[in-house]
Amino acid sequence: MLIADTLSRAYPLTGSSDDGDLGDEKVIYVATTDPPLGGSITQLVQAASETDEEMLLLKDLHTGGWPDRRKSVPPRAQPYWSVRHSLYIDDGLVMVNKRIVVPKSLRAEVLQRLHTAHQGIQRSLAHARAIMYWPGLSNDVRAMVDSCSSCQEQLPSNQREPLLPHPVPDAPWQRIAADIFELQGRPFLLITDYYSKFPEVLQLPDKTAGSVIARFKAVFSRHGVPFTLIADHVPFASAEMARNRKHLRPDRAARHDDQQDDIDAPDSDTEQGATPVEAPEPGANAPGSQSAPCTRSGRRIKPPVRLKDYDTASD
């Protein structure tokens, strides 16, 4: 059983004051519905749409119908081919899915107003895609944000990582670096000693592993074979270079050469598998402890077995 409450029986004694004025409803609609771009800029877009050739062409295509093929569409309207089914006219404005199509003459001003708050590229893109449309809108927004000095200063910057240099060897020609460069269209091989920073530059007939190996042999015959070679990419990391590592060591007849160790495999970033280097004796690299040729080349110079005395007075 349902019992009515007191208010349900307190009906008004006089007639309703609601006269159904449509003017009030219209005012309420205008007060609660704002244009996407704001009142002033929307009026500018409406005025520009009445004279802009591209907007007039879109209105004609919307009224008369789009052709069946894109090739038949005028060049000015071809960028809108993909959104032709979502395009309509509302109060003189060309719309695409509730987004106002802005004429070319007002795009720069609209972007400037959009970027007043300097919200960054992501929020600017989201705001622009929600209220406006034209072909290439995203690229224009990105270019605007990239050219803004205030936005660039507020960008989160990644902290630079410190450099990780290779350890300096204890003697020359223990660790070297190699790379290939071009000068005036000709390839060259650059070999640099980590200890003395002494460079060797040799011209290459080509960039093959065989040519590089031949130049390595020529340099190693003068300075000795290093313990470690640091290089990257081909041909240093090629299979032919790995196969010829054995042949890069000096001749066994050179018994007085201290550097008889094999050269390590080239590695792009690390020195895995590097031949261990024995620690030198204390004071071995101190100034004046080695001769000048030994300091530069890292090799001991063999003196003559017999010295012949020349008596210039007796001649």
Range with the poorest average pLDDT among 42-46, 194-198, 248-252 = 248-252
* Pairing state between β 93-96 and 132-133: unpaired
Say if residue 133 is in the same domain as residue 196. no
CA-CA distance, 76 to 266, in Å (whole number)?
A: 58
Alpha-carbon dihedral sign for residues 174, 179, 183, 185: positive
Tokens (6 digits) for 55: 């907007």
Q: Is residue 142 part of a domain?
A: yes
**Helix, strand, coil share of the chain (percent; to 5):** 40, 10, 50
The string of pLDDT tens digits covering residues 35-76 is 556 557 888 888 999 999 999 999 999 999 999 999 999 999
Domain that holds residue 133: 34-152
Of 137 and 20, the structure prediction assigns the larger pLDDT to 137
Label residue 236 by pLDDT band (50, 70, 90): confident
78 Cβ neighbours under 8 A, 6+ residues apart: 70
Lowest mean pLDDT: which of 109-123, 164-178, 251-265? 251-265
Per the domain annotation, does 285 fall within a domain?
no
- Cα distances (angstroms) measured from residue 216 to each of 20, 48, 239: 99, 72, 16
Q: What is the pLDDT of residue 287?
A: 44
Report DSSP state, residue 250: P
The whole-number average pLDDT for the span 282-308 is 52
pLDDT band at 30 (very low <50, low <70, confident <90, very high): very low
Residue 229 lies in a domain: yes
pLDDT score of 127 more than 70: yes
> What count of other Cβ atoms lies within 10 Å of the Cβ of residue 191?
21
277 near 226, Cβ under 8 Å?
Answer: no
Q: How many domains does the chain have?
A: 2
The residue count of the chain comes to 315
Q: Which residues contact 38 (CB under 8 A, 6 or more apart)?
A: 113
pLDDT digits (tens, 9 = 90+) for 93-111: 999 998 999 999 999 999 8
111 and 185 share a domain? no
pTM exceeding 0.75: no
Instruction: Determine the pLDDT at residue 113.
Output: 87
E strand or H helix that includes residue 178 = strand 175-183
Residue 189's CATH number: 3.30.420.10
In sequence order, the β-bridge partners of residue 203 are 188
Q: Which residue has the higher pLDDT, 296 or 85?
A: 85
Do 74 and 84 touch, CB atoms closer than 8 A? no
Whether residue 146 is found in the same domain as residue 184: no
**Tens digit of each residue's pLDDT (9 = 90 or more) over 147-165:** 888 887 777 767 677 888 8
Is 228 a domain residue?
yes
